[in-house]
Chains A and B, each alone.
Chain A
Amino acid sequence: MNITSLEGLVFGVDDVGACNEFLANMGLDVVERGDDGGHFLAEDGTWISIRPRADAQLPAPLETGSMLRETVYGAADTDTIEAVAKEMARDREVTRHADGSIGFYDDLGFALRICLATRKTLEVPAEVMPNIPNSTQSRGLNVIGVTPGAPAARPRTLSHVVYFVPDVALAEAFYTQRLGFRCTDRFTDVGPFLRPAGMADHHALFLIQSPPHIKGIEHFAFHMASPSQVLAAGTQMVKRGFQSFWGPGRHHFGSNWFWYFNCPMGCHAEFDADMDQHDDHWVPRATAMGPEASQAYLFQFREKWAPGGPPPNARPAS
């Protein structure tokens, strides 16, 4: 199953205006924004769509009321789509859409769609490269790392989605055995980090064993170009009044830098960067989840200040 991207997420929400406002402030391109919904793109074309909860065109909701209504993956070619359609048709209904994509539900009731991958390759701007001492690795002479007034940090691509699931074994079996996902690492008694076989990212999907009444999305994440861009994007969110939930920091599993925010889609929204990449030679690790295992380090935002000047009791020079 050559699934090569996490393409998009569709939400059916209670407050369209708030959700549109939030996503526009994440730095996504606004393709559509109105009372009926919104459509927002990362730089490589991956996306999030907002629709009213009652929109009859959306797939059936989870019984818990989670606002995530569809997770869309990209396939390398139509052969992959047909292979998935054939596999799914063994035991469930497959809906064929006019654009050639297919829709179905996983074993927990999450709606999925497989379409042709549309992710674009992006050039990396020079300033992303750090200057590493005594190394050929550098961004070049006279290339400035911090440019006042530089364009705001923008999400590069949709990174991953995380589900609360009531039966993590059932869910993991579906994604690994039926859709060819690979487990990269695991928090014991919590769940696996999974990547589609055609993706190198440490995870496009993470599953969390949870009580049935909270089945749904825990968070989604966009990859930024660099750790610095995670800090820049998060700082901008804080300055605009958005509420930090966790971060900035750096995870152990996946090694990605993170900064999470509360989001009006009833989940968390994460900026991340510099996630590990793997192939099938990788041997999954397992550890218990906890503060030490969850992050290499964790910081907290504070307002800017500047040390300097004389002490408050200094006498003027005579």
Chain B
Amino acid sequence: MGARRSAAKCPPGQLSMTVLCHISEIPVDGAIGVEPGEDGHDTIFLVRRAGHVYAYRDSCPHWPGARMAWRRHEYLDADGAHIVCHGHGALFDIETGHCLSGPCAGLSLSSLPVELTAQGLVRLLPTASAPLTSKDISK
């Protein structure tokens, strides 16, 4: 595995506006996992598609808290068409996070607002509710 693509560390409670990565770190039409807190493993994953970056919590709606990749950064199916939870093979729409088939069909991934800056940084934006905490992201 390559170097850990950890997001810049910041104190719990101040994760909003956290820089998650640079766009060049996400393979074109690919995905990576990032760790904005200090959980010891990725808690968010980012999918790059057609100039957009989509961010979701790494937590399957079938069994919330269950991580989805089979190996670090492996969140998509073989042809990159869908997000997959490899726990039980559920397929999700990349743009909406909606589960198309599998145990949680009809439910959705928990999406997170991100922005792509002019410098190519992918930043986590504040949510409408309270700022995200490390514990919050782990849910």
Inter-chain CA distance A282–B73, complex, in Å, is 46
Minimal Cβ-Cβ distance residue in B for A269: B70
Task: Tell me how far the C-beta of A116 lies from the nearest C-beta in chain B, rounded to whole angstroms.
Answer: 32
Whether A67 contacts B67 in the complex (CB less than 8 A), given A214-B103, A240-B1, comes out as no
In Å, the complex CA distance between A14 and B70 comes to 14
B40 within 8 A of A: yes
Q: Which of A238-263 contact B (CB under 8 A)?
A: 240-245, 261-263
Contact for A263 among B1, B72, B78, B86, CB less than 8 A: B86
B87 closest partner in A (C-beta) = A262
Contacts of B73-109 to chain A: CB distance below 8 A? 73-74, 77-78, 84, 86-89, 101-103, 105
The reply to whether A262 and B105 contact each other, CB–CB distance below 8 Å, is no
A65: which B residues are within 8 A, CB to CB? 89, 101
Asked if B40 contacts A245 (CB within 8 A), the reply is no
Closest to A261 in B: B70
User: Is the pair B88, A218 in contact by a Cβ cutoff of 8 Å?
Assistant: yes
Rounded to whole angstroms, the CA-CA distance of A65 and B103 in the bound complex is: 12
> Are the CB atoms of A268 and B105 closer together than 8 Å?
no
A243 with B103: CB separation less than 8 A? no
Q: Does B28 contact A (CB under 8 A)?
A: no
Give chain A residues whose Cβ lies under 8 Å from the Cβ of B77: 14-15
A127 to B129, CA, bound (A): 55
Other-chain contact of A262, B68, B73, B101, B102 (Cβ < 8 Å): B68
With A and B bound together, what is the CA distance between A214 and B41 in angstroms?
28
Give bound CA distance, A18 to B74, whole Å.
Answer: 10
Number of contact residues on A: which range applies?
20 to 34
B19-41 contacts to A, CB under 8 A, are 40-41
C-alpha gap A22/B69 in the complex (Å):
12
B70 touches A243 (CB 8 A): yes
Q: How far is the CB of A263 from chain B (nearest CB, A)?
A: 6
Which residue of chain A has its CB nearest to the CB of B75?
A243
Does B8 sit within 8 A of A, measured CB to CB?
no
Chain A residue nearest to B78 (CB atoms) is A15
Interface-centre pick from A15, A67, A213, A240 (highest chain B CB count, 10 A): A15
Query: What chain A residues lie within 8 Å of B84 (beta carbons)?
Result: 266
Contact B70 A267 (CB under 8 A): no
CB-CB nearest in chain B for A260: B87
Please give, as numbers and ranges, the residues of chain B lying within 8 Å of A240 by CB-CB distance.
1, 71
Q: Whole-angstrom distance between the alpha carbons of A264 and B77 in the complex?
A: 9
Instruction: Given A15-B78, A262-B67, A302-B40, verify A241-B89 contact (CB < 8 Å).
Output: no
Q: Is the CB of A301 within 8 A of B87?
A: no
Given contacts A66-B89, A243-B72, A262-B68, contact A303 B40 (CB under 8 A): yes
Q: Which 4 A-B pairs have the closest CB atoms?
A: A266-B89, A241-B72, A15-B78, A241-B1
Interface contacts beyond A243-B86, A245-B87, A264-B86: sample of 20 additional A-B pairs, CB < 8 Å, sorted by A: A14-B77, A21-B71, A210-B103, A213-B105, A214-B88, A216-B88, A240-B1, A241-B1, A242-B72, A243-B70, A261-B70, A263-B70, A263-B86, A264-B70, A266-B84, A267-B88, A268-B87, A300-B40, A301-B40, A303-B40
